[in-house]
Amino acid sequence: MATMPAVESADLRPALRILDEMSPVTASDTIPLLQRLQEAYGYLPREVVLEVSQRTGLPASRLFGVATFYAQFYLTPRGRHLVRCCRGTACHVRGGKNVISTAEKVLGIRDGETSSDMSFSLETVACLGACALSPVAVVDGRYLGKTTPARLEHVLRTMREEAAGPAENREEST
Ligand code: FES
């Protein structure tokens, strides 16, 4: 799966390795640097960003500013599975709102949240770039075009059951 486990307290070794490989790091490397850090950590831990700032001389305000500006960056840990639902116009008029509310209901989280067991994160996006297939959801990078609430519910419940492991840990369907 795409996401990496979150680190509790920052292990700086991956960051130091990345800095070493990218050296010398300049301001124009900010985005690729943040991308590589996020690849390594699954998100951008604050301690890592501050350490990188110190070691490169890139102002922390710049690093956090870029990380905050671009939707691709995350400053908090994400779940092992990432569910993205489109809230754009093309999807909205074809029932995207019901797709989003289904994801919220099945996962028990709202837009921008991560489940307490770190299994799922849910995001809504202004456009997933596949309007012809609306309504669209993307689960761990897999596009579900012309999706329906029932189809998404089936996909998510199957994933939850797989994540829960043995049958005794599974939740009852409501
Ligand atoms: S509006 Fe949903 S994919 Fe473009």
Q: In what order do the strands lie in the sheet with 81-86?
A: 120-125, 81-86, 137-139, 142-144
For residue 137, the CA-to-ligand 1 centroid distance in Å is 9
Q: How many residues does the chain have?
A: 174
Q: Tell me, using a 6 A CB cutoff, whether residue 127 lines ligand 1.
A: yes
Amino acid found at 113: E
Q: How far does the centroid of ligand 1 lie from the alpha carbon of residue 129, in Å?
A: 6
- Tens of pLDDT, residue by residue over 8-36, are 577 999 999 999 999 999 999 999 999 99
Helix/strand/coil for 37? helix
Question: What pTM was computed for the model?
Answer: 0.71
pLDDT tens sequence across 149-161? 999 999 999 998 8
- For residue 140, the surrounding DSSP H or E stretch is none
How far CA 44 is from CA of 7, 158, 170, in Å, comes to 10, 29, 32
Given a cut of 60, is residue 65 above it in pLDDT?
yes
Q: Residue 173 has what pLDDT?
A: 43
How many helical (H) and strand (E) elements, i.e. helices and strands, does the chain have? 7, 4
Distance CA 102, CA 117 (A): 19
- Which ligand 1 atom is at minimum distance from the Cα of 133? 3
**CATH among 3.40.30.10, 1.20.58.220, 3.40.720.10, 3.40.50.10860 for 81-169:** 3.40.30.10
Instruction: Give SS3 for 123.
Output: strand
Residue 127 CA: which ligand 1 atom is closest?
4
Residue 50 has pLDDT above 80, yes or no: yes
CA 144 to CA 167: how far, in whole Å?
27
> From the CA of 86, how far away is ligand 1's center (Å)?
6
For 117-147, the pLDDT digits (tens) are: 999 999 999 999 999 999 999 999 999 999 9
Residues 6+ apart with CB under 8 A from 31: 66, 70
The residue ranges of every structural domain in the chain are: 13-69, 81-169
Ligand 1, residue 130: give the atom nearest the CA. Answer: 3
CB neighbour list of residue 21: distance below 8 Å, 6 or more residues apart = none
Q: Whose alpha carbon is nearest atom 1 of ligand 1?
A: 88
